[in-house]
Homo-oligomer: A and B are copies of this chain.
Amino acid sequence: MRAEIENLCEKLHYRFKNPELLEDALSHRSFRGNKNNERLEYLGDAVLNFVIAAALFRQNIKAREGELSRLRANLVRGETLTDLAKEFDLGKYLRLGAGELKTGGAQRKSILADGMEAVVGAIYLDGGFQACEACILSWYAHRLENVETIPDLKDPKTRLQEYLQAKKLALPVYTILALEGPAHQQSFKVECQLHGLPNKAIGIGSSRRRAEQKAAEKILAELESTYKI
């Protein structure tokens, strides 16, 4: 294995039994058509999604499914993966075709993010699930610790409630105005009303909860434009 790849392994805190897997993970399709990193990217994406989903589940014992999903989406999206790739200086190790190299492909966000996923896939194949999980959790330790600082990830009802509580105002009242359609495709029409404030909003959705969230979202948007909250 080339010395510079050893260097990358140190940064990743992972030593490959089969270094060829890492070389595959670093090989963009512009470098070699066959055996490029796209299959590993597919695999890495799935491992990463699961490891982060499970970590958030364990860590946020009170968060609802919607909030967990939003947090996860934030932590595995391209932008976060690009940041992670930059922390490891991954662009330096990627193998790109001459054309991509010339046009700055090694710093292109999508190539970095895809490469990062492929590295995850390679570690999973090389060391198994537990070793790969341990790597991901160490890379994400800081982000997972600070997860509550990610803005606007709470669902609209929660945000509305927290806003009103902070202002010592009464909680919103949600009322079902109508329930339409056959049993398997019902549509709920819900009104959200704030006590002592003129704001009202109506949300429509396939469940009571979805309709309430939509109504809360509308009220939040109104409050934001009226009171610059």
Q: Of the candidates B43, B105, B209, which one forms a contact with A53 in the assembled complex, judged by CB atoms under 8 Å apart?
A: B43
Q: Could you tell me the distance in whole angstroms from the C-beta of A149 to the nearest C-beta in chain B? A: 21
Q: Which of A38, A49, A63, A65 has the most CB of B within 10 A?
A: A65
Q: Which of A45, A54, A105, A130 has the most CB of B within 10 A?
A: A54
Judge whether A41 is part of the interface by a CB distance below 8 angstroms.
yes
Q: Give the chain B neighbours of A183 by CB distance below 8 A.
A: 103-105, 108
Judge whether A140 is part of the interface by a CB distance below 8 angstroms.
no
The A55-114 residues at the B interface (CB cut-off 8 A) are 57, 63-65, 68-69, 72, 103-105, 108-109
Judge whether A150 is part of the interface by a CB distance below 8 angstroms.
no
Q: Could you tell me the distance in whole angstroms from the C-beta of A32 to the nearest C-beta in chain B? A: 14
Q: Of the candidates B42, B65, B105, B209, which one forms a contact with A42 in the assembled complex, judged by CB atoms under 8 Å apart?
A: B65
Do most interface residues of chain A lie in helix, strand or loop, or is the interface mixed?
Answer: helix
Q: Could you tell me the distance in whole angstroms from the C-beta of A206 to the nearest C-beta in chain B? A: 9
Copy number of this protein in the oligomer?
2
Q: Give the chain B neighbours of A45 by CB distance below 8 A.
A: 53
Q: Could you tell me the distance in whole angstroms from the C-beta of A152 to the nearest C-beta in chain B? A: 19
Q: Are A54 and B43 in contact (CB-based, < 8 A)?
A: yes
Bound together, the chains give a CA A45 to CA B52 distance in angstroms of: 13
Q: Are B29 and A43 in contact (CB-based, < 8 A)?
A: no
Q: Give the chain B neighbours of A209 by CB distance below 8 A.
A: 29
The A111-167 residues at the B interface (CB cut-off 8 A) are 124, 129-130
Q: Are B64 and A43 in contact (CB-based, < 8 A)?
A: no
Residue contacts A-B, CB under 8 angstroms, 16 given: A38-B64, A39-B63, A39-B65, A39-B68, A42-B57, A42-B68, A42-B69, A46-B50, A46-B53, A47-B50, A47-B54, A49-B49, A103-B183, A103-B184, A104-B184, A105-B183
Q: Which of A29, A57, A69, A124 has the most CB of B within 10 A?
A: A57
Q: Give the chain B neighbours of A108 by CB distance below 8 A.
A: 183-184
